[in-house]
Structure 1
Amino acid sequence: MEQVPHYPLFVVITHGLNILFVTLLMRSGVEVLSSMPKLYWSDGCPPGREWLRLSGKNFGGDSRRPWVSLDEEESWHPVIALPGRKNLGVGRHWHFLTVPFWILTGAVYVAMVFVSGYWSYLVPTHWSIVPQAIRDIGTYLHFQLAPQLPGQPFDAAQKLTYFGVVFVLAPLQIASGVAMSPAMLARFPWYGRLFGGKQGARSVHFLGLCAMLAFVVVHLFMVVVHGIPGEFAKIFLGSEDGDRVLATVVGSLTLLAVVIVHVGATVYSRIDPRRTQRLLGKLVHRFEHMLSRLGRSRQHYRRRDISEYHRVNGYPPTDMGYRQLAADGFGGYQLPVGGLVDHPVTLSLPELARLGMTRQITNHNCIQGWNGIAEWGGVPLSALIDLVQPSKSVSHIVFYAMDDKALTEGRGRYGYFYEAVPIAIARQPQALLALEMNGAPLPIEHGAPLRLRLESQLGYKMVKWIKAIEFVDGIADIGMGQGGYREDQLYYGSSPGI
């Protein structure tokens, strides 16, 4: 049998691409983490019970001062986070842009590994490699180089490590990432339970990030220990017998190019986040939109699953009109529903309830990473759609809220909250106009008198304190044309299925 080259061309190419993709994933992942730098093993995220808190902020469930989950967000430096400084929306765009390219690169690599026979260098075939790898680690700890396996480019410790990274760690990162998708959790609740719930998956994903970072650091250290010119010849020219001067030049230029991409991505994202959103969105949004329509939500949690504490995001309206409505128990509330419909209506809460009440126990997923399970009682959105009879040209339903973000949120943001929802998602069975929570009237902090529930979407699409509903044939003229308040102001994606 012909000997397989130690460093064939596909290894050289995919290795170079992985340097770029893995580092982009790490930095953008850190940006996502900064939005809620607390990790849990169980769903519900009760304050104070996190197993890891990467923040000096500590809010309690019994705090006398009202707080929302955005108060937990940290502003991490652009050197470690892409793009850094509380840019969750843009960070998610970079993360989800990179994911498919990284997966494709890995798929090509694994396929070529088995087609070419290179698998024999990566896949252990006998348990004896484990004690041998332990001995090799001891050799390194004595500041000596371990011997390579006969006829192979790696020693036992290296071979075992590469196998773990390629065939265990990388697939685990993909699987745990999928287990955090609200669309996947809604359609296949059993999948999330494989990790103990969304928070278990989030913790596993974080530990995977730490393991990948440790691998990169040790890998770089070993390159230095073995000698940069010789290692660059293997990595970038495919042969340890290659021209080492040329290899050093090629390797240095490759790493410089990776650094330039990172610097360019960070600077451009911070200078012009709107163009970054639009540019990356052209590639990302189609994937997100497809995932958002994955299928009907099949969530049917039990009462004992209901979270003991359910976080909120967004402070209630502060104007006198809302306060008067609340003081009257929302008896004077009227919901206007119009736009491109045959039968525009204005409904009181009792009139809305007469369209048919239903209840569901579902999992709320916030874009920041926390989740909470609650029972929601309300009217299926499909019942309202059937009542008003939208025209065939309608593509979205716009929900307008009563909260002026300039007053309730600040931070340079302004205007009343609004979100546009594709009508196909609005027609899903568990899409609900909620009037109750956990068997009681909807609390003010959770959106009273009326809020939207879209169980395959992230929380920012589920408008609270609904003031009016409009059926439209496009979103270009709604706000800044990106699909909603968070999309316009914070550059979020318009189809949050992940």
Structure 2
Amino acid sequence: MDLAGSDFPLWLRAQHLLNFVLMGMLIRSGIEMLSSLPRLWWRNDCAPGTEWLKFTRRELPKEEGVYTSLMDERSVSPLLSLPGRENIGLGRHWHGLSVMFWVLNGIVYAALLFATGLWRRIVPTSWEVFPQAWDSLLMYLSLETPDISHFTPYDSLQMLGYTFVIFVLAPFQMLTGVAMSPAVRSRFPWFVKALGGHQGARSLHFIGLVIFSGFIVMHVSLVLLVHRDHNVIHMVFGGGEVTTARAAQALVIMVATIVAVVVFWIALSYWSLADRARAQRLTTAVTEVGRTIFLDRMRPLGAKKKAYTDRDISRFHWTNGLPPTEDESQLWVQARDNDWQGLTITVRDDINDVEQHLTLEDLRALPRHSYVATHTCMQGWSATSRWTGVRLTDLMDVLGPRPAGARYLMAESYGLAQKMYDNRPREPFYAVIDLETMAEEESILAYERNGHPVDEHLGAPARLRVESNHGYKHVKWVSRIMWIHDYADYGDGRGGTREDSALQAFNGRI
């Protein structure tokens, strides 16, 4: 079978169309993610005033703990972002789904390129391409149009551009994207550090997006400005005779297709906002496949293989959520004002209705574990600290052997959720983790940060630390931790407060 039976075979045109759809979804969901924290840094402590680029006029206070990251979130119209209106979780889900299909489409595209020999039209095979590309660039800058004979079917400048985008920029985006996963950072910290840490990867990823967007704009502009009739006929019909009638027909089809895709993008946003839980179920079902295959296999190196040291500790630490008020938890406020006297953390077996109440002194009497790790929020900020506390495995051992039927560990806070997506009264914040994550060496109940008691705004007197997950799993102001059989029996049944609000998936390793 001759897959390259025309200048632009059907498979090539179909994959270009699919790539157009997916790139739009990637860029739109990327806008949603960036709007959640419209600032970019090179330094990993994300200190206010040190951004190299920001998309907000809001100035942040320099003091820790008086400003939450959600207060910096921006609402973007669904016409521009996916899905829009301050939905970072769904934005991340759509981004992950789009990435999976975009990468798969790219793999098939590259395989067919080499299988059909069409790679020779894109990948230079002679050094002469560079001076020829320079001549083409000068011609474009002088606003002259290269003769059609320069295109066979691409000229040298196009060849270099396509080679760069396909074989350099696309892999670059993949690498900087996965570097922002806490699972990847925990397993391959050297890789993330080589990119400048979480913020370096985030900034580089944004720069790659700008380059990609610029290429798309330039590509489409040249299609319509340089030998338009020839271009649209080949893009729509694959080749053949160039006539005015065929060119007009091809242009109508092309414009109609672009309009249809734009309508699809916008409809996807409004469909998601109409029922966020439904959109979460759909996107989670798809992304869970990739997460299971690639990320769930990655487990942290452990504290003994030091990737981060005290020299990496950040000078500033953002927070998401403010400490409990007296209206939310009188017990926590009174204990705080009395140096935590009288406050206990409940360790419970919810399957057999068995529990113990531990004081802060009881926690300190358990085996002590300390390490340095980088905290990342799904909004994008990060901070590196030394955390000290008791491993979750040692903590739960106070109840004896793990009960039969226990499949998850659930942590609940003295504090309430910042808001409930359906506007019902706010409920205690909680999160669920699986047993394999719970058993990781860097999954602890922390009572110290950087050699001092945990700061009030960061979860005093004790908070959960699950370093292979994003921060929404690191419950602050912990009131109880318990064995459970199925997270479907708690809250709205999705595995945590953020998940119940359709703002994130159960597994926070992406």
Give the TM-score normalised by structure 2. 0.92
> How far 1:292 moved relative to its partner?
4.0
> How far 1:378 moved relative to its partner?
0.1
Q: Which residue of 1 aligns with 2:118?
A: 118
Range moving further from structure 2, 294-303 or 100-109? 294-303
Report the Cα distance in structure 1 between the residues aligned to 2:453 and 2:5, rounded to whole angstroms.
Answer: 69
Q: Is the 8 A contact 1:451 1:463 kept in 2?
A: yes
> How far 1:413 moved relative to its partner?
7.0
Partner of residue 412 from structure 2, selected from 400, 403, 408: 400
Give the residue type in structure 2 aligned to 1:131: P
Report the Cα distance in structure 2 between the residues aligned to 1:150 and 1:405, rounded to whole angstroms.
Answer: 62
Partner of residue 296 from structure 1, selected from 293, 296, 300: 300
Q: 3-state DSSP class of the match of 1:136?
A: helix
Matched, 1:334 2:337: no
- Cα shift readout 1:282-321 (whole Å, capped 9, x = no counterpart): 1123433552452134453111110011111110000232
- Cα shift readout 1:101-159 (whole Å, capped 9, x = no counterpart): 10011011111111211111111223332232222122122222124576721112111
Partner of residue 308 from structure 1, selected from 315, 329, 333: 315
Q: Quick one: structure 1 residues 346 and 62, their matched pair in 2 at CA, closer, same or farther if it must change by over 3 Å?
A: closer
Q: Quick one: structure 1 residues 98 and 307, their matched pair in 2 at CA, closer, same or farther if it must change by over 3 Å?
A: same
RMSD: 2.3
Report the Cα distance in structure 1 between the residues aligned to 2:187 and 2:266, rounded to whole angstroms.
Answer: 38
> How far 1:249 moved relative to its partner?
4.3
Q: Quick one: structure 1 residues 372 and 461, their matched pair in 2 at CA, closer, same or farther if it must change by over 3 Å?
A: same
Q: Which residue of 2 aligns with 1:49?
A: 50
Q: Is the 8 A contact 2:331 2:343 kept in 1?
A: no
Q: Which residue of 2 aligns with 1:174?
A: 174
Q: 3-state DSSP class of the match of 1:344?
A: strand
Give the residue type in structure 1 aligned to 2:312: D
Q: Which residue of 2 aligns with 1:202?
A: 202
**Where has structure 1 moved over 4 Å in runs of 4 or more?**
2-5, 148-151, 406-413
Q: Which residue of 1 aligns with 2:157?
A: 157
Q: Is the 8 A contact 1:479 1:488 kept in 2?
A: yes
> How far 1:411 moved relative to its partner?
8.2
Q: Which residue of 1 aligns with 2:287?
A: 284
Please give the residue correspondences for 1:68-467 in structure 2 after superposition, counting only pairs within 5 Å: 68-147=68-147, 152-226=152-226, 228-241=228-241, 243-289=246-292, 291-298=295-302, 300=306, 301-319=308-326, 320-338=330-348, 339-340=350-351, 344-388=355-399, 389-405=401-417, 414-467=426-479
Q: Is the 8 A contact 1:148 1:156 kept in 2?
A: no
> How far 1:270 moved relative to its partner?
1.4
Range moving further from structure 2, 443-452 or 192-201? 192-201
- Cα shift readout 1:85-109 (whole Å, capped 9, x = no counterpart): 2111111111101111100110111
Aligned length: 496
Q: Quick one: structure 1 residues 336 and 481, their matched pair in 2 at CA, closer, same or farther if it must change by over 3 Å?
A: same
**Unaligned 5+ runs, structure 1:** none
- Cα shift readout 1:293-350 (whole Å, capped 9, x = no counterpart): 5213445311111001111111000023222110111121111122125863221111
> How far 1:394 moved relative to its partner?
1.4
Give the TM-score normalised by structure 1. 0.94
Q: Which residue of 2 aligns with 1:23?
A: 24
Q: 3-state DSSP class of the match of 1:476?
A: helix
Q: Is the 8 A contact 1:398 1:471 kept in 2?
A: yes
Q: Is the 8 A contact 1:297 1:455 kept in 2?
A: no
Q: Quick one: structure 1 residues 192 and 367, their matched pair in 2 at CA, closer, same or farther if it must change by over 3 Å?
A: same
Q: Is the 8 A contact 1:419 1:483 kept in 2?
A: yes
Q: Is the 8 A contact 1:382 1:427 kept in 2?
A: yes
Q: 3-state DSSP class of the match of 1:41?
A: coil
- Cα shift readout 1:459-494 (whole Å, capped 9, x = no counterpart): 000000001122111111211111111111252111
Q: 3-state DSSP class of the match of 1:367?
A: coil
Report the Cα distance in structure 1 between the residues aligned to 2:448 and 2:409, rounded to whole angstroms.
Answer: 22
Q: 3-state DSSP class of the match of 2:433?
A: strand
Give the residue type in structure 2 aligned to 1:295: R
Question: Identity across aligned pairs (percent)?
Answer: 35
**Unaligned 5+ runs, structure 2:** none
Q: Is the 8 A contact 1:15 1:235 kept in 2?
A: no
Range moving further from structure 2, 94-103 or 245-254? 245-254
Range moving further from structure 2, 418-427 or 26-35? 418-427
Report the Cα distance in structure 1 between the residues aligned to 2:449 and 2:368, rounded to whole angstroms.
Answer: 13
Q: Quick one: structure 1 residues 390 and 279, their matched pair in 2 at CA, closer, same or farther if it must change by over 3 Å?
A: same
